[in-house]
Structure 1
Amino acid sequence: MTNTDEIIEIENQDELNLAVRPVYMENDINVRIAKEQSSVFELLRREKRGDLILAPDFQRNDVWDLKHKSELIESILMGFPIPLIYLFENENGIRQVVDGKQRISALKAFLNNEFALTTLSMLPDLKGKTFDDIRPLSQAKLEDYQLHTYVIQPPTPEFVKFNIFERVNRSGISINKQEMRHALYQGKATDLLQVLAESTAFKLCTDNGVKPDRMRDRYLLLRFIAFYLLKAEQTPTTNIEYKSDIDSFLAATMAYLNEKASDELIQHITQTCLQGMHNIYQIIGDQAFRFDSKASAHKRPINIGLFEMLVFAFGHIELDKVNIEKAKNLIKEKKAYLDEQGIFGGSIDTIEHVTMRFNTALEITEGLTNA
């Protein structure tokens, strides 16, 4: 993760260092990358139909300035090559721009007469002209210009797509892994995370301590959802395994939510998470997911393990059937023990620690419901 909070889109000028073949297989990994070309007109028609997704919303709001846009149009009219565009294609044939959003957006805006060209070094006579103002021959040259693309296709595994995305976006200011997931898995998964992150329950129970910048809030909530699906009754429907690789696990969860999860399951997850956060706030307040301060008077940070464990434990509990004082004491007892043992202080993503975390959650639930 970078030390800066600025998030920018990378327009990579270099081709990915891959031997592009129809299918590459090694150690049972099947990677399919197709090299294609299509006209600007055809690519924009795909986008208009909804078959091409341009802008994942993790990226910065500001786009290329007028000079950059104008120089792109000039380069095409002069017949200069422009960098490769990288796309991901899902099982339904929907493609998503990984690298090239600014170029495609600039072309779309110009063809829609949304800006006029600025001063150009090679074609100065075009200054101040929109698409409708330039000659029909130049209009046709723009629309017919062939864009070269790499399309990462199914059945390429999710972790390979993730790795390719990271490599393509390696230069410049880096983005973190949750921002990459947010870019790659737009759909029901990102909508669900937005609903939960913007909920009153989340803000109250975390004391607004998990900021939305760099997708920290989405990361915390996605982890809960992924482990909930793994550990709760929904497990048989997901076919998602956990092998101590948290990045692949979270990516697979988002892909599952987008492509296979029913609306009923999405609603169930939403309700469970909201109820768990609401319940824990009513019992403990806004410091539930922090261990008690020790020598320092400063608050300790929100603890990921505590969040997952306690929201899981209270996701299906009805507060009116619970002895609040007993629940409060039980939570404090468990937190004190976990803090003393340092269980949530180091690596929490080993299979052993994950099992321990959710076994403790079940102990809390059973201790309250069997009272």
Structure 2
Amino acid sequence: MSIISIRVPAIENPIQLQETSENEWTGTGEYSIKIRKDENIQFELLDKDIRLQHIEDDYLINLFIDEYNNVRKRQLDETASGIENDNELSLITIENIERPNFDPEQIRVDPRVYSLPEVMRFIDRGRINLSPDFQRYFVWKEVKKQSRLIESLLLRIPLPVFYLSEDGDSSLQVVDGLQRLTTIHKFYKNELTLKGLEYLEDCEGKTFETLATKYQNRIEDAQLSFNVIAPTTPVSVKFEIFKRINEGGKPLNNQEIRNSMAKNPVRSMIQRMANSEHFKRATANSVKPIRMEDQELILRYIGFYLIKYGNSNRIYNGDMESFLDDTLDYINKNTSDHLLNRLEGDFYNAMQNAFHLLGKSAFRKVDLESLPYLRKPLINKSLFTVWSVVLSQFTVDYIQRSFTSGYLIYKIAEEISQDNNYFEALTTGTNQKSKLNYSFNVAERLIQDMINTTRENA
């Protein structure tokens, strides 16, 4: 039998995971990784190398490298965010997903040209939304890079086309060009001083108001080209366009894209919920805002809350990303104070109830064996989704008056330990419709048992 050693990213500083299951590892040693259905590769993880055993097929080796990198990236992402990955790897057989169809005739992208001062007025009046909370993470930090963009305008060099998405009320969301528009707006408002210019030395150190008149005129006369996605374009297509063309060295993830396309009341609400003390206490402050993972959890709550209690006739078909896209589209179109206040208020109820009933184990996959050690595993997305929705329907006063602190800790740990189907629903393929339904059924049964027991003892 041959043994092949290959160089792939080694684990010099092993990540100490809270648990080790299929396709996970914590340090050097012998492991097995599934590269396709019913086929595993045995390998040895060394300090610097990975050694594959009994493999001579280059195709299988390449499959292994790809899968190793996928799993390794997942481990790094989990550790950074404080949230378990969904484990939706390509190796797992998932349910067939019905994807919605759309009429191609509804897709329309209109070219438009606006003068630079007109675009600045759109921004000042709020018609073009620059997503101020989003800018902290994605606006160019280097003054030199910002200055070179302004220098292009001063040299009368046309800028690449901008992409906007128009809503039914004529408001415009930036799809591509956020950093450029923000930079131009800063300069136009005298909030940027030019530094590091390549050609126009006489403009070095200038703001807009201190430029020579001829250069001010060049800025005022500049024409900016836009492609505007019409309101009739299906939301799924809008998101797809955004994913394909959004700019920057680090592509936006799906939740960052949703944040950019959210209307101000919706964006503000989700941000308040993610920053609330109730959410932070219920999650033991372990969910990091890195790449807006915390806000995605909030949107999951909103989506399934609307299915359960929102009278919205919405369904979940097993495609989580499309479901979250559609959820954002729904609340963008239904931004009544009543709905937003209800979503937010019930969420705070859920977080306080979760902390009271589950303590530090809230939303974590803790079984009976690990419970006594008070370990703090990563937040499980499925547990958060289900329990945040189920517990939202009870007032804080009722829960705290009727049940002792930590009432559900051992009951949920017992279910995870003894019900293999429940454990699987929380572990692999967690976004599958059948597994989420199973998790909801378990939670609702435990809640009903809890209420019945209290009534019997009354």
State the TM bucket, normalised to the shorter chain: 0.7 to 0.9
Partner of 2:332: 258
Q: 2:346 aligns with which of 261, 272, 278?
A: 272
The amino acid of 1:336's aligned partner reads: S
Residues 346 and 79 (structure 1 numbering): CA distance in 2 closer, same or farther, change over 3 Å? same
**Residues 277-311 of structure 1: CA distance to partner in whole angstroms, max 9, x if unpaired?**
21121122111221226579754321111122222
Residues 177 and 121 (structure 1 numbering): CA distance in 2 closer, same or farther, change over 3 Å? closer
Q: What is the distance in 1 between the residues matched to 2:300 and 2:342?
A: 16
Instruction: Say which SS state the counterpart of residue 36 (structure 1) adopts.
Output: strand
Q: What is the CA-CA distance between 1:241 and the residue it aligns to?
A: 3.1
Q: 1:31 aligns with which of 104, 107, 121?
A: 107
Q: What is the distance in 1 between the residues matched to 2:370 and 2:235?
A: 44
The amino acid of 1:322's aligned partner reads: S
Q: 1:174 aligns with which of 244, 247, 251?
A: 251
Residues 215 and 33 (structure 1 numbering): CA distance in 2 closer, same or farther, change over 3 Å? same
Asked whether the equivalents of residues 358 and 409 of structure 2 are also in contact (C-alpha less than 8 Å), the reply is yes
The amino acid of 1:331's aligned partner reads: I
Q: 1:221 aligns with which of 265, 282, 298?
A: 298
The amino acid of 1:142's aligned partner reads: I
Aligned residues: 349
Asked whether the equivalents of residues 226 and 249 of structure 1 are also in contact (C-alpha less than 8 Å), the reply is yes
Within a 5 Å distance, the mapping from 1:246-325 to structure 2 comes to 246-292=320-366, 299-317=376-394, 318-320=398-400, 322-324=402-404
Residues 118 and 245 (structure 1 numbering): CA distance in 2 closer, same or farther, change over 3 Å? same
Partner of 1:334: 415
Partner of 1:359: 441
Partner of 1:22: none
Q: What is the CA-CA distance between 1:337 and the residue it aligns to?
A: 3.8
Q: What is the distance in 1 between the residues matched to 2:222 and 2:417?
A: 65
Asked whether the equivalents of residues 313 and 364 of structure 1 are also in contact (C-alpha less than 8 Å), the reply is no
Partner of 2:120: 44
Q: What is the distance in 2 between the residues matched to 1:280 and 1:123?
A: 60
Within a 5 Å distance, the mapping from 1:84-233 to structure 2 comes to 84-118=161-195, 120-169=197-246, 172-232=249-309
Asked whether the equivalents of residues 322 and 368 of structure 1 are also in contact (C-alpha less than 8 Å), the reply is no
**Residues 153-193 of structure 1: CA distance to partner in whole angstroms, max 9, x if unpaired?**
21111221111111113762223211221122142322222
Asked whether the equivalents of residues 56 and 186 of structure 1 are also in contact (C-alpha less than 8 Å), the reply is no
Q: What is the distance in 2 between the residues matched to 1:171 and 1:313?
A: 39
Matched, 1:80 2:162: no
Unmatched 5+ stretches in structure 2: 1-72, 82-100
Q: What is the distance in 1 between the residues matched to 2:163 and 2:156?
A: 21
Residues 349 and 56 (structure 1 numbering): CA distance in 2 closer, same or farther, change over 3 Å? farther
Asked whether the equivalents of residues 77 and 138 of structure 1 are also in contact (C-alpha less than 8 Å), the reply is yes
Q: What is the CA-CA distance between 1:116 and the residue it aligns to?
A: 3.6
Q: What is the distance in 1 between the residues matched to 2:350 and 2:209?
A: 57
Matched, 1:347 2:423: no
Q: What is the CA-CA distance between 1:338 and the residue it aligns to?
A: 4.7
Q: 1:54 aligns with which of 130, 133, 142?
A: 130
Greater mean alpha carbon deviation, residues 314-323 or residues 242-251: 314-323
Instruction: Say which SS state the counterpart of residue 35 (structure 1) adopts.
Output: strand
Q: What is the CA-CA distance between 1:48 and the residue it aligns to?
A: 1.2
Instruction: Say which SS state the counterpart of residue 342 (structure 1) adopts.
Output: helix
CA RMSD of aligned residues (A): 2.8
Instruction: Say which SS state the counterpart of residue 88 (structure 1) adopts.
Output: strand
The amino acid of 1:110's aligned partner reads: F
The amino acid of 1:306's aligned partner reads: L
Asked whether the equivalents of residues 56 and 182 of structure 1 are also in contact (C-alpha less than 8 Å), the reply is no
Greater mean alpha carbon deviation, residues 291-300 or residues 218-227: 291-300
Percent of aligned pairs sharing the same letter: 33
Instruction: Say which SS state the counterpart of residue 147 (structure 1) adopts.
Output: strand
Residues 119 and 307 (structure 1 numbering): CA distance in 2 closer, same or farther, change over 3 Å? closer
**Residues 90-142 of structure 1: CA distance to partner in whole angstroms, max 9, x if unpaired?**
11111122222222222222232333433533322223333233343332221
Residues 305 and 71 (structure 1 numbering): CA distance in 2 closer, same or farther, change over 3 Å? closer
Asked whether the equivalents of residues 361 and 409 of structure 2 are also in contact (C-alpha less than 8 Å), the reply is no
Residues 101 and 50 (structure 1 numbering): CA distance in 2 closer, same or farther, change over 3 Å? same
Partner of 1:11: none
Asked whether the equivalents of residues 174 and 260 of structure 2 are also in contact (C-alpha less than 8 Å), the reply is no
Q: What is the distance in 2 between the residues matched to 1:292 and 1:130?
A: 58
Q: 2:319 aligns with which of 232, 235, 245?
A: 245
Within a 5 Å distance, the mapping from 1:56-71 to structure 2 comes to 56-59=132-135, 60=137, 63-71=140-148
Larger Rg: 2
**Residues 217-237 of structure 1: CA distance to partner in whole angstroms, max 9, x if unpaired?**
1111211111011112x13xx
The amino acid of 2:103's aligned partner reads: D
Unmatched 5+ stretches in structure 1: 7-25
Q: What is the distance in 1 between the residues matched to 2:399 and 2:268?
A: 28
Instruction: Say which SS state the counterpart of residue 302 (structure 1) adopts.
Output: coil
Instruction: Say which SS state the counterpart of residue 224 (structure 2) adopts.
Output: strand
Instruction: Say which SS state the counterpart of residue 349 (structure 1) adopts.
Output: coil
